Amino acid sequence: MNSADERDIRNVMSEVTRDLEPSPVLMELVRRKVRRRNRQHGLLAAAAAVVLLVAVGGVLALRPWHADNRYDAPLAPIPGFDQPTRGDLAGDNRYADDVTTAWGAWARQWQVAKGNSYRVTELGATNLTWALNTPAGRVAVIEQELTVSEDHVDHPGVAIGYLTDIVGRPHVVDALWEPLDQPLEQLPFPGGTGGMLAGADRSVLVVFDPGGPVGYSVKRTYHPDGQITRDDWKPLHFTGGVAVVRVPPRADQGAIAVAPRPYGQSQPLWLVNTADNAGIYQVGTVPSRDQNRPDGRLNWDTYHLNGPNPGTNECLRLPSPVSYPTRSPFTDPLGASEISEGPFTACGTTPDGSGVTIGDAVLPGDPAFLWYALRSPAGTIRYGYVGPFDASAPLPVKVTLPSGQGYVVARKGAVLSYRINNGPWQGARENAALVPAEATAVQVATNGSSTVVPLG
């Protein structure tokens, strides 16, 4: 696109958007789409596509689109193929060669791998867009033009690879691809991503400047009523288009969130390589590897606490955010992550006639935890957060119910009985049991041996 074309586009944009000022992010996006798609619909069509972007605070800003009609905050663009490499390693030709070699080997393996949802039919030109040092080693972002075939239909696109040093050499830690032949307003996360983690231990957060105030949070706070908050927000300070901060090292950084201000009311920016098993996926879809993380949930079944074993429909489930009248319990305040339940649940009836369900669940990057739900005879449901558990303990599940309704205890494959003070063992039950509030101990019998666990 030449400067005359840009002036014409700016004129058309000014006419159709009146007093709104187009941002540099917007102009770079238009340049890339016009240059790569080689559309022949003229400048007015390009400007019309631009108008599909919404105005925020008097400045045009991209609002990525999702299939559920939810709009996210604008994400940082990565320079196009005709732009120079950014970062303090931009002039390091040896590092550039190492990155290109590592990415090329990975991309070719992915191209021929079996079982991909999309088949890559062509790999084109590459461009190193970011190369910089961090306290945890070097990181790089590289783009490559490609053609992807789905159901015998070819789609032009761009793959984006993220590399960090592992044992002193660049390795691909995540990748995504962006189709370039969809309508502009339906391209989620155009131009790249919000940030990545650097180092083999993921101890450094790297965030690309989206053009506005941005902060980060590294942990969720769980409250007894099941509500989750983020109380540790810190602002990010950008230099040369990037912010680099140390974070506690973790194998799974799924709890980290990056978002524009106001933090509690804005959608998070996209972070890559928060967990292992990099695999290329289409931008805007949830990576399947998120569902395969070893997350510590109990691989147990559904049990009844005081009657025959139920079907799963008899137990309560965690509430759906869509159906809950206020913000749903056990939901990240940013909506950044979906919670994963069970399969373990135990349900029954308490002494006051309430239905009770105990289960476990997990959010990415956090320990698995126990939760409970009580449904009163009138139908009111109360949720509660119990906390993390030790799956290797003699009695992994030991939950004190509120209002003196007793205890829920569980261990798969064990016979559980209780006693009151020095009284006899009673109420023997397999796998899970609801014991009265007066109980003082539980006996856990497995494989011919037993362990006594105190209550209270």
Phi, psi of 372 (to 5 degrees): -135, 160
Burial 408-424 (b: 16+ CB within 10 A, else e): bbbbbebebbbbeeeee
**What's the pTM?**
0.74
Q: Write the DSSP assignment of 348-369 as a string of letters.
A: EE-TTS-EEEEEEEE-TTS--E
Distance set, CA 126 to CA 147, 159, 262 (Å):
13, 9, 37
CA-to-CA distance for 93 and 90, rounded, in angstroms? 8
Tokens of 434: 């609801």
The pLDDT tens digits along the chain (456 residues) read 444 444 444 444 444 344 443 333 333 333 333 333 332 232 222 222 222 232 222 222 222 323 333 323 333 333 456 678 999 999 999 999 999 999 998 888 776 654 455 677 778 889 999 999 999 999 999 988 888 777 777 778 788 889 999 989 999 988 887 777 654 333 333 334 689 999 989 999 999 988 889 999 999 999 999 999 999 999 999 999 999 999 999 988 989 999 888 887 777 888 888 887 655 544 444 343 444 445 788 989 999 998 766 555 578 888 766 555 556 888 888 765 678 887 899 999 999 999 999 999 998 889 999 999 999 999 899 999 999 999 999 999 999 999 999 999 999 999 999 999 999 999 999 999 999 999 999 999 998 899 999 998
CA-to-CA distance for 74 and 63, rounded, in angstroms? 5
Tokens of 336: 């950044």
Please, which residues bridge with residue 56 across strands? 59
Read off the DSSP letter of residue 202. T
CA-to-CA distance for 340 and 335, rounded, in angstroms? 14
CA-to-CA distance for 30 and 13, rounded, in angstroms? 11
